[in-house]
Structure 1
């Protein structure tokens, strides 16, 4: 029940060990990878799934619900996140029948042989609310999530979590110090019902979080604001102490995650579980974008997020944070600056751009 009163210490315990209505597969420490297809030189889906399996990938996140890929994942031990497109949100929000249709077509056709564990409704919906159409989509988001959940629940499926990935541009303030983290005023009216529903269904708040972008921006505004080592999660002596909480941070990712934790708490939701929908480091492009840095960030990330027992963050020690790396390939048809197309782990021929050990912490 969404309004059930549970003591905070009990909620913290439950969120830390993830024992209520969540399968072990969902909360495992296995690292995931985003598999996008915005390229004209990418390997076939069959080859891509083979590569994911060879890399010991624990999870894969799709930006759609492609039947061919879902069929190819059937019988594997890879947990799968699929996505409802942004332009489908308002229709589903308005019609339980359309929600039923979507679930039957994209879930029931493949589940349970394909280990679908997450349904993500939209992608970064709150990042574009400047037009009436975009704002309507944002307002319809929770209703669409609820309708998808209704169908899944009616079918007796209990091990699929439903949420939506949001970008860090939802934040008004973040990072220094994390305890000052807050959401932009213009989206708080959208955020409250979303957090209420995610919390009530014991799902995850997915965020796309990029220390690289925050580090680059810090170099533009203040050359000494954030060191490269801190952004790369490099173990060392550097740390930052939050003056309000006394918590000590040894890397930028933890600061960014905890800024979201504190932002949620300011809206009355201090126990919502986090997941990382996207994070990575470009291997070519602007300052700091090279293969050495990308390889170091990804391997440090895998080490941090896959270690058992889980490290969590300073504000939430020991909590599992499901994590998806961005991305499997460079995608040469993506919009934006050149760096936007240089985040892949693999070249188009399937060879590694740099060496990654996906089981470093296990």
Structure 2
């Protein structure tokens, strides 16, 4: 006769074994809404929660219907976004406090909000006024959170890889664009270091491949494709090379320990006629290999053993985007049918324990 303590331990073990094996994965997705055929937020959230292993979601605004739909949902964290058009206003504390009260505070008790992304690829706009107000807005929102006694939400801003100079190859020579390095990125990195918030980047090998580097961009080879002549480190995929170039630029200012979050990356499943390297097989290869890679714990050649929180772009195909390829970055169609399989659907495995 088994004692009650042993029975309890076996019961707990069985529960653990029937949980999805993917529970330890860190899979994020961008939930964009530039479409006129998407299901309502409560259906989307229920789908994410019950059918997928996605546990981080990034939205491009503070849509109250979406925030309310995530109310009471455990195990999924949210990143919300301040539109670029609001950045200048939010550099003023009174406006930042009002924005927080109007958009986030009503949801904090029941919705897990992890990051506020201030704008999106602001430096890429080349709008000097906007760029100079970016860090003040981040600082002011952080202060507004502190004054509201909110400590769990961190503030950041996603950058395109256009922040790097054209000479950021090999990866070890990565540096920020001249004119922005000391004036913009050194203070931003100091902010991240002080607040323990991550530096967010949007690496897209899709935008950087050529005919001879397609497999390198898709993680489709285990062969060494590039050797950094300075570090002698080997690269088998373009994603690692891009992240290491960002890391090298950060390290030049002494901030190599600041966390990096991949706020966007993806590959379209359809494109314009005769567009090379675009299609279902290419998108499935990139995103499927990406998810395996970032969850492997291997890190990159310059950042071994680091796992990067990574948000795939995007959850749905969005039919109001401006080009065919932009409309087809989604993992799912609006009816929740997978566009292709990247291994993020929940599967349970049950093991029978045999008592001897």
Q: Normalising by the residue count of structure 2, what TM-score does the alignment of the two structures yield? A: 0.85
Between the aligned partners of 1:174 and 1:328, the Cα distance in structure 2 is 33
Alpha carbon RMSD of aligned pairs, Å?
1.7
Structure 1 residues without counterparts, runs of 5 or longer = 1-27
* Distance apart, 1:267 and its partner CA: 3.1
CA distance in 2 between partners of 1:236 and 1:267 (Å):
32
Give the Cα separation in 2 of the matches to 1:233 and 1:174. Answer: 23
Contact 1:230 1:238 in 2 (8 A): no
Larger CA deviation: 178-187 vs 203-212: 178-187
Aligned to 1:340: 326
Q: Bigger CA drift: 268-277 or 166-175?
A: 166-175
State the partner residue of 1:267.
253
Deviation at 1:29, TM superposition (A): 4.9
Deviation at 1:298, TM superposition (A): 0.9
For the residues of structure 1 that align with 2:169 and 2:191, how far apart are their CA atoms? 29
2:71 paired residue number:
74
Where has structure 1 moved over 4 Å in runs of 4 or more? none
The separation in 1 between residues aligned to 2:64 and 2:37, in whole angstroms, is: 20
Which residue is equivalent to 1:325? 312
Q: Is the 8 A contact 2:35 2:321 kept in 1?
A: yes
Which residue of 89, 94, 99 maps to 1:97? 94
1:160 pairs with 2:147: no
Q: Which residue of 1 aligns with 2:184?
A: 190
Report SS of the residue matched to 2:201.
Answer: strand
After superposing the two structures, state which structure 1 stretch, 33-42 or 154-163, moved more: 154-163
CA shift digits 1:99-148 (9 cap, x unpaired): 1111122221111321100110001100011xxxx211110010100111
1:250 aligns with 2:236: yes
Task: Show the 5 A alignment for 1:1-362.
Answer: 29-53=25-49, 54-76=51-73, 77-93=75-91, 95-129=92-126, 134-173=127-166, 176-188=169-181, 189-215=183-209, 219=210, 223-224=211-212, 226=213, 228-285=214-271, 286-307=275-296, 310-335=297-322, 337-358=323-344
Contact map agreement 2:142 2:155 (CA 8 A) in 1: yes
CA distance 1:359–1:41, shift in 2 (3 Å): closer
Distance 1:157 1:194, change over 3 A: same
Find the aligned partners of 1:141 and 1:258 in 2 and give their Cα distance. Answer: 24
- Displacement of 1:177 in angstroms is 1.1
Q: Quick check: 1:175–1:252 contact (8 Å CA) kept in 2?
A: no
Query: 3-state DSSP class of the match of 2:294?
Result: helix
SS at match of 2:208: helix
Q: In 2, Cα distance between the equivalents of 1:315 and 1:43?
A: 42
Equivalenced residue count is: 317
Structure showing greater radius of gyration is 2
Q: In the alignment, is the contact (CA less than 8 A) between 2:56 and 2:78 conserved in 1?
A: yes
Q: Which residue of 2 aligns with 1:18?
A: none
Q: TM-score, structure 1 length as denominator?
A: 0.83
- CA–CA distance in 2 between the matches of 1:149 and 1:242? 39
